[in-house]
A and B are shown apart, each in its own frame.
Chain A
Amino acid sequence: MKTRCKFAAMISASLLVIGAGLIVSQKVSAAGEGKITGTIKLDGTPPHQKPIDMSKEPSCQAKHAGHPITTETVVSANGALQYVVVYLSEGLSGAAANAVPSEQPEFNQTGCQYVPHVIALDVGQSFKVVNSDQTSHNIHPQPKPGAGNQEWNKSQPPGTPPFVVKWNSEEVAVPVKCNIHPWMHGYMAVVKGPYAVSGENGSFTIDGVPPGSYTVSAWQELYGTQTQKITVAAGKPTTADFTFKAK
């Protein structure tokens, strides 16, 4: 009777170990994962980007050559659209969806602007809020009430150290504003699973996508969300281009 119990315990323990190993190996098997690349374009004339007059904050104005422009639609000469968040809105399995990247991106307040203007984050991913200016900032993200994230705001006098925070629920996207400088505006997109934000040339790459069928979403602050259904194969890139229509 006693030995039997022991045997059963050993069996279940080894099963547990194997199971855990399988889960872990699924996470780290980079070779078997695909990626999604693409370019985001804007079709039509972008809205006028009004220059920002920072004359009331001379230390910030000094960091810019002329008047910096609003960053709500940043379009390059060939129509490529920057600051678009691309993420997998459907199709991710539990493990891949719940993995939290360990790197800590930085959300910087510099020259009285948020750099980057749009930051994408995984649920539970820590990020650092930095004040590089010679003035106080009061960063104030305003998540939708009831969506699971708490609204907060925090002052950072010049010279105070960065602080680290994270978001607990998915939300695309949390608007962020500075309570001291009304023109300062940005977004934090909180998603589950891999994500990317389009760069200056409108291109993006989402790495580490397990093979499978997905709905890819692209979100832009003025033009909203577009989706595409794609299938990602192991080890090779899949293309998903998006084109937003100017209003």
Chain B
Amino acid sequence: MAKFFAVTIILIAVASAVPIVMHTWEAPADISTHGALIDEQMSETMLEAGISFLAAQIILAIFIWQFSNPGPDARIKTFPGGAKGLVIAALVLVGAEVMALGIFGTKAWAAQYFTPPAADAMAVQVQAGQFAFYFRYPGLDGRFGPIHPDLINEGSQNFYGLDPDHDQDSKDDIVAAEMAIPVNKEIHLLMHSKDVGHSFYVPELRVQQDFVPGLDVSLHFTATKVGKYEIVCTQLCGLGHYNMKAYLEVMSQADFDDWLKKEAAMQ
């Protein structure tokens, strides 16, 4: 029984590692400028976690195999080095490992969160609401008109509560249900929630950030590859949460300009 158990543990451990080694289910390829650091950090962690996982399971299995149902003469032995050795090993090896991960990981985090967006970054506002994202472009004046929550009316598609009749800045604001951005251009994303908590997650862009109702937060990123990607909500926001998504279209500057004109005409 014990030997069978030992073999089972090893089989499970190896089988668990196979899809990871084979890259069967992986995150979609990175399309951002900051994502490489995250990916590097990820594979580094995977290596260390994988080794710890396999080593612990296999040693556990070997000991179970070896020390179960011993003969009547068997004597209790102590692991070489005893507890002190193990504690030192844990402190040194694991301590060094996690410190390394922690310090190295700070770089990836800092690259995204501690550096301000470039001065010429393009501002786009995203508003999350149950259960759709709407994106706002400031238009030619480069300024977003003020939001009047009491004017929000989804039936007539005033999702932001804009008042272009009275607010000069709102007149040329463009509100769209999908997000188009020019490739290789830094985007400064201003995040606003209309109702409850939501999140902005684009796996390809290596960004995920919650919307905080009552507190506008911002993100910045640069997409490097033209294509159509999905923006999904990852913060439970109600019954339509599973269906809260929008498309991100990364396009050439020329295509983007055309798109913006087309959207402006639809306002």
Contacts and interface: CB of A to CB of B under 8 A. Distances in A.
Interface of A: 47-48, 50-57, 67, 70, 72, 135-136, 138, 155, 175, 177, 179-183, 185
Interface string B140-178: 000000000000001111010000000000000000111
B176 A179 contact: no
A214 to B, nearest CB: 31
B247 interface: yes
Contact of B155 (A48, A51, A55, A72): A72
A131 to B, nearest CB: 14
Contacts of B129: 182
B157 A179 contact: no
Given A56-B245, A181-B132, A72 B239 contact: no
Interface in B232-267: 238-240, 243-247, 266-267
B208 interface: no
A56 B266 contact: no
Given A182-B129, A182-B131, A182-B132, A50 B157 contact: yes
Contact of A55 (B243, B246, B266): B246
A138 B239 contact: yes
Given A67-B266, A135-B243, A182 B178 contact: no
B218 interface: no
Nearest to A136: B243
B156 A72 contact: yes
Contacts of A138: 239-240
Contacts of A57: 243
Nearest to B230: A56
B247 A55 contact: yes
Interface residues of B, number: 23
A177 B154 CA distance: 9
Nearest to A51: B266
A175 B154 CA distance: 12
Contacts of B154: 177, 182-183, 185
Given A177-B154, A183-B157, A185-B155, A55 B130 contact: no
Most buried by A among B155, B157, B244, B246: B155
Most buried by A among B130, B246, B266: B266
13 contacts: A48-B267, A50-B156, A53-B176, A53-B266, A138-B239, A155-B239, A179-B131, A180-B240, A180-B243, A182-B159, A183-B132, A183-B157, A185-B154
A118 B19 CA distance: 54
Contacts of B178: 53, 55-56
Q: What is the interface of chain B mostly: helix, strand, loop, or mixed?
A: loop
A180 B159 contact: no
A185 B156 CA distance: 8
Contact of A175 (B155, B176, B240, B243): B155
A67 B240 CA distance: 22
A220 to B, nearest CB: 13
Contacts of B156: 47, 50, 70, 72, 185
Most buried by A among B129, B132, B247: B132
Contacts of A135: 243
Contacts of A155: 239
A173 to B, nearest CB: 12
Given A53-B178, A54-B177, A183-B155, 10 more contacts: A50-B266, A51-B266, A53-B266, A55-B177, A56-B133, A56-B246, A72-B155, A177-B155, A179-B131, A180-B131
A55 B228 CA distance: 12
Given A50-B267, A55-B177, A182 B130 contact: yes
Pairs A-B, 10 closest by C-beta atoms: A185-B155, A53-B177, A180-B240, A182-B154, A50-B157, A55-B178, A51-B266, A182-B132, A56-B246, A72-B156
Contacts of B131: 179-182
Given A55-B246, A56-B245, A56-B246, A179 B240 contact: yes
Contacts of B239: 138, 155, 179-180
Most buried by A among B130, B243, B245: B243
A179 B155 contact: no
Contacts of B238: 179
Interface in B101-129: 129
A184 to B, nearest CB: 9
B193 to A, nearest CB: 14
A73 to B, nearest CB: 9
Contacts of A183: 132, 154-155, 157
Most buried by B among A56, A72, A185: A56
Contacts of B130: 179, 182
